[in-house]
Structure formats: structure tokens, C-alpha cells
A = this chain, B = another copy of it.
Amino acid sequence: MRELHHPTRDSISLPQVLHALSDPIRLCIAAQLDCRGDLPCGTFCETAAKSTMSHHFKVLRLAGVITQRNEGTSCFNTLRRDDLEARFPGLLDAILRAAEEL
């Protein structure tokens, strides 16, 4: 299985993070990871195709919002809280809090 690329903390870009979280599906993924902890990709597929979800996870990963690690046949996702907090203090919390109001 191929290595998954993750941006370093310092190379996380604000516009890219905002763009990643400006999609309702991806915002929902981040919110779920926030309140329920690490989860495999399959947990989220409601109505969208698997390939669609895979795409959204990739966007979040490349933007530096989540890390992904393969475990068996699953792919676990983790919010990069510490990295985001260090790079953009208060940003993730503000967005997740705002996302609750939906």
C-alpha cells in the first residue's frame, strides 16, 4: 500500500484549510472526528459513493486537517488538533463550534 502524504505542521496553509472545511460533507467529517474520536472512513458513508468519500478524506488530509493511517483493511482518521492549534490558534475550535449550530 502506498505511503500517505501529510503536510508538515509549518506547511499547512490557511486558505487550503478553509477550503477543505468549506464543504458540508468534509465539515461533517471533521465534526464527527472531533466529538467521537478517531474513526475509519467507512463510518461516514451515508449516501455518497465510496469513491466520493475517499476523495473528501484525501482533501482533508492534504490540507493538513486530518491524518490517515491504515490498520488492517480500515483507514483510521484523526483530527490534527495540536498541529492546527499551534499553527492557527483558536481556528479549529471556532469552526467546530460554529458547525454545531447546524
Contact = CB atoms under 8 A, between A and B. Distances in A.
Interface of A is mostly: helix
Contact of A15 (B22, B91, B93): B22
How many copies are assembled? 2
Interface residues of A, number: 23
A97 B102 contact: no
Interface in A16-53: 16, 18-19, 21-24, 27
A99 interface: yes
B97 A90 contact: yes
10 contacts: A14-B95, A18-B95, A19-B19, A22-B22, A88-B97, A88-B98, A89-B94, A89-B98, A91-B94, A94-B95
